[in-house]
Amino acid sequence: MEPLNTSSGHVNEVTLYSTPNKNALKISLMYKTFKYVLLVLCLSAHCLPVHGQALLALLFGKNIHNDNLSLGIHIGMETSGLTNTPSSNLLPGLIIGAYTNVKLKGQWELSNYFIFKSSRGAAAIPLAYQLQPNVPGAEDADIRRKLTYFELSPLLRYHVTTGLSFAAGPQLAVRTIAKDIYKITLPDGGKESITYNLRDQYGLVDFDVAADIQYAFYQGKGVRLNLRFSQGFVNVYKDEVPFNAKNQYIQLGVGIPIAIGKSKS
């Protein structure tokens, strides 16, 4: 592995890359292409209502001049952890994505979330659970295990009122980034950060179940606040790794609706 070293004053950063995997590179390229295409389509709907709606109609396969369909941008913060990793701490991270809501019968609705970046993992990983051997200064390091996923969540939502609702359903997540970060305090008081990219140690796909409570302002048509809990059911590591852990997180999100027009009465 070839280390990349950068330093400024008393802060040193070292990034170590494992041997590239061709399949992983292809998946990463497909993921990046898909997320940018979807983001462009959503922004098109906001900036160019007529043409943007035509593009989204091609994406979703229906005329979106429909009172039963709404969409928007979903951003927020989440704190994540890994099960079976004693003494570790929760790791904060950002999320960014999009959502669509499709009205069903009565008070029911199908909420689909497309999260381009779901930050998971844990902080303060015990030394006994490190994946990279012989890390200099590891005994005194704060080890952070950072995992990033593309996440798809089709949740069935029930509206108690026009603004308050509950939802639950499955989640499918595809891992895009996996790295361990060692943050070390040097004897002179300076800081050093060593990053190991360890994709080959982790599984590619995660299956979860999620539940949330949501409140939407302006009689359900405005900005929405969303509190979600997710629990994974798949070991995040590959079989040859001598550990077993599952993802879990609590997420506080904000949904920003995009105006897409209404059907003519």
Sequence spans of domains, the chain: 3-258
Give the pair of three-digit tokens for residue 76.
């927020």
| Model pLDDT, residue 25 | 47
Pick among 2.60.40.10, 1.10.600.10, 1.10.10.60, 2.40.160.20: CATH of 3-258:
2.40.160.20
| Model pLDDT, residue 164 | 97
Q: Check residues 44 and 105 and name the one with the higher pLDDT.
A: 105
Whole-angstrom Cα distance, residue 230 to residue 129?
A: 23
Residue 69 has pLDDT above 80, yes or no: yes
Task: Over range 143-164, report the average pLDDT.
Answer: 97
Residue 2 has pLDDT above 70, yes or no: no
pLDDT band at 252 (very low <50, low <70, confident <90, very high): very high
Residue 233 has pLDDT above 80, yes or no: yes
| Model pLDDT, residue 136 | 85
| Model pLDDT, residue 67 | 76
Task: Over range 239-246, report the average pLDDT.
Answer: 96
| Model pLDDT, residue 1 | 36
Residue 16 has pLDDT above 80, yes or no: no
Instruction: Of 43-52, 57-66, 98-107, 237-246, give the lowest mean pLDDT range.
Output: 43-52
Residue 237 has pLDDT above 50, yes or no: yes
| Model pLDDT, residue 142 | 93
DSSP 159-207: ESSSSEEEEEEEEEEEEEEEEEEEEEE-TTS-EEEEEEE-GGGB-SEEE
Handedness of CA 125, 131, 132, 135 (dihedral sign): positive
Instruction: Of 95-104, 135-144, 245-254, give the lowest mean pLDDT range.
Output: 135-144
Residue type, 230: S
